[in-house]
Amino acid sequence: MEHMGSPRRYPPELRERAVRMVYEWREARGRSDGGLREVARQLGVHAESIRNWLRQAEIDGGNREGLTTEERRRIKELERENFELRRANEILKSGGCRMNVDHPARVLAQPGQSGPWRSTSLLLIAVS
């Protein structure tokens, strides 16, 4: 059994080439399936990676049900934003910051504190 290390990110050009090669392999043989292992061997990647790229290409092309690459990117972006807003909200609830009287829309850390939440807190105050 192969060792499953951390996933590698392959360049989009390689992914597109692999998908194109699978379709060419199938067309040359008059088949509607197969070619994954052959193409994977040629490119030096795992066949399951090719299968996933092919599936995503079919979804992006409207030939299969599922979330498109753009929809997945947007969901990830919204989840990240949601996480940051929740974290900023918890900091505000715990009293971990105070309002600057001179600048009511600006949130400052208490003396001696710092953190990545400072800019997120500003966003939270602005939208609250």
Q: Which pLDDT score is estimated for 95?
A: 81
Residue of 70, 61, 80, 62 whose CA lies nearest to 120: 80
Contacts of 117 (CB under 8 A, 6+ apart): 84, 87, 88, 91
Rounded to whole angstroms, how far apart are CA atoms 91 and 7? 34
Please indicate whether residue 4 or residue 41 has the higher confidence score (pLDDT). Answer: 41
Q: If pLDDT is split at 50, 70 and 90, which confidence band does 40 have?
A: very high
Rounded to whole angstroms, how far apart are CA atoms 73 and 54? 18
Q: Say which CATH class 12-66 falls into.
A: mainly alpha
Average pLDDT, the chain: 82
Residue of 69, 43, 72 whose CA lies nearest to 58: 69
Q: What is the pLDDT of residues 61-90, one digit of tens each?
A: 999 999 999 999 999 999 999 999 999 999
Task: Inform me whether the pLDDT recorded for 91 exceeds 70.
Answer: yes
Say if CB 59 and CB 66 are below 8 A apart.
yes
Contacts of 123 (CB under 8 A, 6+ apart): 84, 85, 88
0.75 exceeded by the pTM?
A: no
Angle (deg, nearest 10), helices 36-43 and 47-60: 110
The domain locations on the chain are 12-66, 71-127
